[in-house]
């Protein structure tokens, strides 16, 4: 019943597109997705090939600089990042200021935001050298910040990074190691985590990435923009799905419901339950990342937990869903989160850390998108329009 005519008279034509379902806010050369065909490519390279042949470090380079590095370039990139892993001692004091039971996501976003206070030169986003330095600092320090957020939550002392280790190894060491007991590196776990990070590294204009671009379009620096992206990712509708999958599997286990009965509940839309980890706004086919991670889920769970009841439930749900008309008709397939939570759990990460791991993976994507945006000639500040549907003009009442 809303009359749009007066508004159009004052503002000209606008596109009304809630949720930006059909509006491209930018051109981009970074990531290509064809949801119908189940295709994901970074800079033109299929995710399947990167998953098999690349590393998270190399994929980060590819996303940020546009081309795969030569071995010499990769080595230089690696060394630069290793040199920047230390956090300012005063920044470490920051972690003690939060409640012990704090969720690590707001701790992560606060500490990343606070990086601007130590690196004040980074505030000038027109300085290419500063943009490059902020890139390296973020890649090097965010895993350390993430590990410290976890350490504080369990009341353990913070370890110093050891730069003889790679980015991913250092993160595992800082998270699970203690001064009393060094972390024993398992190459299979390092590789699995590396793969998970590659699979999360970019996903074009999702909510957190669009947030990074929008904040950055106001010429806010990279730390501020990435911190905003972390906050967007903290929302359960975006970064929290893998936690939700695990919660669902645990409920099924605790209530002793069979996966078959649970599926009936989902199909009848009883209490609004959905099969968590299924369906995707963009993929109306098998999520290619889910396909890649499925085998790893089996390998890691087989190795670490010697057969896991939750994985068994997950596999039975998956098998049922893929053969069920309800899911086939609606093109509902498992998404990447159907498996990641199970793998993270088997690796020893508490559920609160799942979204943090997502953030670590997505970081190179955020950086690449931020850099692409600020290099755009004639960049415009992001400023969506609205349809005003409130009161017409009225007078302040005389009482």
By the rule CB under 6 A, 279 interacts with ligand ACO: yes
Q: Residues in the chain, how many?
A: 399
**Beta carbons of 152 and 100 less than 8 angstroms apart:** yes
Minimum CB–partner distance for residue 310 and ligand ACO (Å) = 16
Structure-block tokens of residue 54: 């690349």
DSSP state of 19: G
Contact pattern from residue 225 through residue 244 relative to ligand ACO, giving x for each residue in contact according to CB under 6 A and a dash for the rest: -------------x--x---
By the rule CB under 6 A, 355 interacts with ligand ACO: no
Choose one: 109-117, 159-167, 217-225, 272-280; the region binding ligand ACO (CB under 6 A).
272-280
> How many CB atoms sit inside 10 A of residue 15's CB?
9
280 noted as active-site residue: yes
Residue 189, SS3 per DSSP? helix
Minimum CB–partner distance for residue 192 and ligand ACO (Å) = 18
Measured distance CA(339)–CA(357) in Å, rounded: 14
Site for ligand ACO in 333-352 (CB under 6 A): 335, 337
Residues 6+ apart with CB under 8 A from 185: 165, 169, 172, 173
**Taking the alpha carbons of 367, 372, 378, 381 in that order, is the dihedral positive or negative?**
negative
Q: Which is nearer to ligand ACO, 241 or 246 (CB)?
A: 241
**Taking the alpha carbons of 163, 167, 172, 175 in that order, is the dihedral positive or negative?**
positive
84 noted as active-site residue: no
Minimum CB–partner distance for residue 337 and ligand ACO (Å) = 5
Site for ligand ACO in 240-269 (CB under 6 A): 241, 266
Minimum CB–partner distance for residue 288 and ligand ACO (Å) = 13
Q: Figure out which of the listed residues 43, 165, 173, 280 binds ligand ACO, where binding follows CB under 6 A.
A: 280
Tell me the backbone φ, ψ of residue 278, rounded to 5 degrees. -115, 145
Q: Figure out which of the listed residues 108, 138, 276, 359 binds ligand ACO, where binding follows CB under 6 A.
A: 276
- Binding-site ranges for ligand ACO (CB under 6 A): 238, 241, 266, 274-281, 330, 332, 335, 337
């Amino acid at each position: 019943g809303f009359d749009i005519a007066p508004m159009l008279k004052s503002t000209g034509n606008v596109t009304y597109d809630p949720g930006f379902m059909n509006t491209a806010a930018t051109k981009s050369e970074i990531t290509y997705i064809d949801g119908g065909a189940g295709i994901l490519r970074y800079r033109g390279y299929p995710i399947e090939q990167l998953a098999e042949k690349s590393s998270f470090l190399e994929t980060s380079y590819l996303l940020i600089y546009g081309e795969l590095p030569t071995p010499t370039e990769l080595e230089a990139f690696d060394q630069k990042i290793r040199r920047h892993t230390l956090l300012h001692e005063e920044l470490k004091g920051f972690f003690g200021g939060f409640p012990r039971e704090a969720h690590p996501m707001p701790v992560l976003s606060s500490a990343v935001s606070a990086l601007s206070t130590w690196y004040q030169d980074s505030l000038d986003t027109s300085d290419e050298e500063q943009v490059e330095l902020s890139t390296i600092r973020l890649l090097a320090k965010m895993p350390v910040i993430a590990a410290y957020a976890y350490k504080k939550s369990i009341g353990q002392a913070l370890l110093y990074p050891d730069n003889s280790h790679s980015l991913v190894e250092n993160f595992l060491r800082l998270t699970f190691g203690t001064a009393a007991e060094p972390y024993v590196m398992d190459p299979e776990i390092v590789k699995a985590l590396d793969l998970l990070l590659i699979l999360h590294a970019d996903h074009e204009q999702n909510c957190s990435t669009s947030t990074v671009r929008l904040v950055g379009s106001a010429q806010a620096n990279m730390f501020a923009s990435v911190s905003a992206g972390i906050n967007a990712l903290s929302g359960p509708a975006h970064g929290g799905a893998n936690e939700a999958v695990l919660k669902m599997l645990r409920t099924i286990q605790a209530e002793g419901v069979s996966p078959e009965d649970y599926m009936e509940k989902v199909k009848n839309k009883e209490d609004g339950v959905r099969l968590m980890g299924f369906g995707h706004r963009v993929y109306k086919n098998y999520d290619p990342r889910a396909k890649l991670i499925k085998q790893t889920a089996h390998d890691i769970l087989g190795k670490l937990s010697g057969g896991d009841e939750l994985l068994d439930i997950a596999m039975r749900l998956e098998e049922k869903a893929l053969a069920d008309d309800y899911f086939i008709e609606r093109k509902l397939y498992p998404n990447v989160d159907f498996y990641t939570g199970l793998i993270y759990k088997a690796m020893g990460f508490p559920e609160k850390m799942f979204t943090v791991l997502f953030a670590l993976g997505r970081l190179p994507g955020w950086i690449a998108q931020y850099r692409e945006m600020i290099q755009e000639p004639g960049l415009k500040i992001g400023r969506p329009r609205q349809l005003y549907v409130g009161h017409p003009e009225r007078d302040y009442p005389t009482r």
